[in-house]
Amino acid sequence: MSLLHTPAARGLLGVLLLSLAPLAHAAEPGPSVRPPLPLKLSDGTPFPPELLHNPELQYTVALFHPTAPTGDVVAAANKLLTEKYKELSGAWKPGAPMPEVVIEVVPQEEVEPLDEEHLRHFGRKLEAEDRKRLMGARHVTALSFHIPFAKRNESLLAAMRYAHQLATEQKALLCDMETREYFSLKSWKETRVDGWTGGVPSLPSHITMHVYAKGEGQGQRMITLGMAKLGLPDLVVEQVPGSMTTEMGKLINAVAQLLTEGLEPTRGGDLMVDLTRVKDARVQRMVTPDDPKTAKRKAKLWSIEGRRDRGDPENYLLELDFPGSGLAHARQLEALDTLFGKKPDSIVPAPPGDPELEAVAKKARARLNELRPRLAKGVHPPEVLLVKAGFRTDDKNLEYMWMEVVAWEKDRLKGTLANEPFNVSRLRRGSPVDVAESEVQDYLYMGPDGKREGGESSTILMRREQQGR
């Protein structure tokens, strides 16, 4: 009997890098800028087109002062605003609004000190020294921007420049309250200001995306934060298998950019996604096809009212749903294949009883036994566990593939397939699967501290593949 091994899971690195702690476990810093929206469970109702564009935008940038400011920050901020950013300093009038900035010192009793755990998730754009300076900071100045939809693009550019200049003068660090990210002066300038002189912004620079597990069998939930700054709903996709998060992230970014550039759903909820119509050069590069020969670059999605979860942004949610029949992962994969092309994983043959791979399998099962007490109750982000096992092929052989583990019950590991099968027609990437512990041939594990281990079989097989070329 011949054995076929898939060296590595397609998108495996994306699985390891995109998995974040649930938003419900992270406190949002600073003042609230909107009343909370109702917690509404979507019943598949098409997203109302009249809610697509918010006529009056509101967003906040917070300046965190590591030490107490020596002067009147509000006075300095107003002086800078009126002298150099007059396009932001109009008078807000209902019905005929002009951009306006409300500058306030946040009372210290309302500022919760930041800790290492919080900054581990939301301070990735800070240098180590900046993290130290931010720890325990209790002095915060809030810049609340009120912007009419018609001036959303030019006002956002001015707001980003204004916040950066004021923070520079005040020696402060910045927090985008919509995306909940902390920035150094350098990272804010590089991400939010440089390379943009006007017009429609490149959305990946102004939004972020959170990915977290919803529970056994429910896959990952992917949601944007920051679309409110452009007067648009945030985007959400439910039940995404871990192995698909990289491609789904590309799709979500593309839809976000297209909405910013003018795409609108129909009254019935149809959303025609055409990747060839993306105008922004950065996003164009991001959504290049995986397989140009099979990528059609166009697909029809459905836009429905998003289901709210605790910790969601205070913004309308547009959920991307996928036409077709079958389980969610199959419909998602069909759309991703249509847009980006179907690129199969590489296959490397190995004989039965291969001593090098058998040694890896023995070591992997021993290590899993050590990890079991920690993982038996489930794998919780930022932890990620993948195992490799054999699946019966159409011609009665075995094809070894990776699966992402979501639960461990007795002697069986349950999860979703992380590879695209070569000769197992009953399965596709993302299909629900389970295997016995005794069938595991290798493992890949990322712990809560981000440390990775395992995957030795992939290293061996890729080395053999290169040597055989």
Q: Which residues pair with 441 in a beta bridge?
A: none
Neighbours of 10 (CB within 10 A): 22
Q: Residue written as tokens 């996003």? A: 283
Domain shared by 138 and 248, yes or no: no
Evaluate if residue 35 carries a pLDDT over 50.
no
For tokens 């440089």, what's the residue? Answer: 194
Return the DSSP state at 4.
E
**Mean per-residue pLDDT, 184-208:** 95
Other CB atoms within 10 A of residue 215 CB: 11
Predicted local confidence at residue 11, as pLDDT:
45
Nearest residue to 420 (alpha-carbon basis) of 290, 251, 287, 276: 290
Verify that 211 and 326 share a domain, yes or no.
Answer: yes
Cα–Cα distance, 169 to 186 (Å, whole number): 13
What is the pLDDT averaged over residues 172-189?
A: 96
Q: What pLDDT score was predicted for residue 231?
A: 97
Residue 96 clears pLDDT 70, i.e. is over it: no
Q: What are phi and psi of 182, to 5 degrees?
A: -105, 145
> What is the secondary structure of 189-247 as a DSSP string?
IIIIITT--SSS--GGGT-EEEEEE-STTS-EEEEEE-GGGGT-PEEEEEEE-GGGHHH
Q: Is residue 36 part of a domain?
A: no
Per-residue pLDDT averaged across 141-161, rounded? 96
Over residues 251-261, the mean pLDDT reads: 97
Do 291 and 315 fall into the same domain? yes
d(C-alpha 250, C-alpha 247), whole Å: 5
**Residue 444, pLDDT score:** 94
Percent of the chain with pLDDT over 90: 63
Classify residue 392: in a domain, yes or no: yes
Q: What is the pLDDT of residue 39?
A: 35
Q: Which of 296, 322, 340 is the last residue of a domain?
A: 340
Q: Is 24 domain-assigned?
A: no
Domain-located, residue 176: yes
Q: Which of 340, 360, 375 is the last residue of a domain?
A: 340
Residue 191 domain-assigned? Answer: yes
Over the stretch 279-293, which tens digit does the pLDDT of each residue have? 999 999 999 999 999
Query: How far is Cα of residue 107 from the mean position of the Cα atoms in its chain?
Result: 32
Give per-residue pLDDT as tens, 199-221.
Answer: 999 999 999 999 988 766 678 89
Give the model's pLDDT for residue 260: 97
Residue 216's nearest CA partner among 36, 413, 357 is 413
DSSP secondary structure string, 298-319? EEEEEEEEPPP-TT--SS-EEE
* Mean pLDDT for the chain overall: 87
Q: What does the pLDDT read at residue 91?
A: 66
How confident is residue 94, by pLDDT bands cut at 50, 70 and 90? low
From 318, 340, 362, the end of a domain falls on: 340
Residue 144 sits at φ, ψ, to 5 deg, of: -100, 120
The reported pTM is 0.85
Model confidence at 8, in pLDDT bands (50, 70, 90)? low
What φ, ψ does residue 173 adopt, rounded to 5°? -105, 160
Q: Note whether 256 and 303 are same-domain residues.
A: yes
Residues 178 and 216 in one domain: no
* Angstrom distances, CA of residue 128 to CA of 183, 301, 387, 406: 12, 42, 34, 33
Q: Which pLDDT belongs to residue 72?
A: 96
Q: What is the pLDDT of residue 217?
A: 63
Query: Sorting pLDDT into bands at 50, 70 and 90, what band is 106?
Result: very high
How do beta strands 234-240 and 220-225 pair?
Answer: antiparallel
Question: The domain containing residue 175 runs over which residues?
Answer: 56-199
Three-class SS of residue 386?
strand
pLDDT tens string 355-409:
999 999 999 999 999 998 888 777 777 788 999 999 999 999 999 999 999 888 8
Whether residues 231 and 112 fall in one domain:
no
Q: Is residue 47 part of a domain?
A: no
Contacts of 229 (CB under 8 A, 6+ apart): 57, 59, 152, 156, 178, 206
What residues contact residue 421 under an 8 Å CB cut-off, 6+ apart?
Answer: 391, 399, 401, 427, 428, 429
The pLDDT of residue 309 is above 50 = yes
Tell me the pLDDT band of 37, cut-offs 50, 70 and 90.
Answer: very low
Q: Quick one: pLDDT at residue 332?
A: 95
For 409-424, the pLDDT digits (tens) are: 888 999 999 999 989 9
User: Does one domain contain both 236 and 188?
Assistant: no
Whether residue 281 sits in one domain with residue 211: yes
* Contact assessment for residue 320 and residue 331, using Cβ atoms and an 8 Å cutoff: no
Nearest to 423 by CA among 441, 404, 398: 398
- At 458 the pLDDT is 87
Residues 419-435 as b/e (b if ≥16 CB within 10 A, e otherwise) read bbbeebeebbbbbbbbb
Residue 402 lies in a domain: yes
* pLDDT above 70 coverage of the chain, percent: 89
Question: Which residue has better confidence, 388 or 242?
Answer: 388
Task: Give the Cα-Cα-Cα angle 281, 283, 289 (nearest 5 degrees).
Answer: 105
Give the residue with greater pLDDT, 90 vs 365: 365
Residues 374 and 333 in one domain: no
In this structure, what DSSP letter does residue 24 have? G
In this prediction, residues 270-275 reach a mean pLDDT of 97
Confidence category of residue 180, pLDDT binned at 50, 70, 90? very high
> Do residue 404 and residue 441 come from a single domain?
yes
The contacts found for 221-226 with CB under 8 angstroms, 24 or more apart, are 221/309, 222/248, 222/249, 222/252, 223/23, 223/309, 223/312, 223/313, 223/317, 224/252, 224/256, 225/178, 225/179, 225/180, 225/313, 226/176, 226/178, 226/179, 226/313
Same domain, 116 and 191: yes
* 126 & 155 share domain: yes
Tell me the pairing of strands 139-148 and 100-106.
Answer: antiparallel
Rounded CA separation 283/451 (Å): 30
For residue 122, the domain's CATH number is: 3.30.70
Residue 18 lies in a domain: no
Domain count, the chain: 3
Residue 28: pLDDT band (50, 70, 90) is very low
Q: For residues 194 and 426, what is the distance between their CA atoms, to the nearest angstrom?
A: 49
Exposure class string for 168-201: b at 16+ Cβ within 10 A, else e: eebebbbbbbbbbbbbbbebbbebbbeebeeebb
Q: What is the pLDDT of residue 204?
A: 94
Note the pLDDT of residue 288.
94
Q: Which residues of 17-44 are buried (b: 16+ CB within 10 A; e: fewer)?
A: ebbbbbbeebebbbbebeeeeeeeebee
pLDDT of residue 207: 97
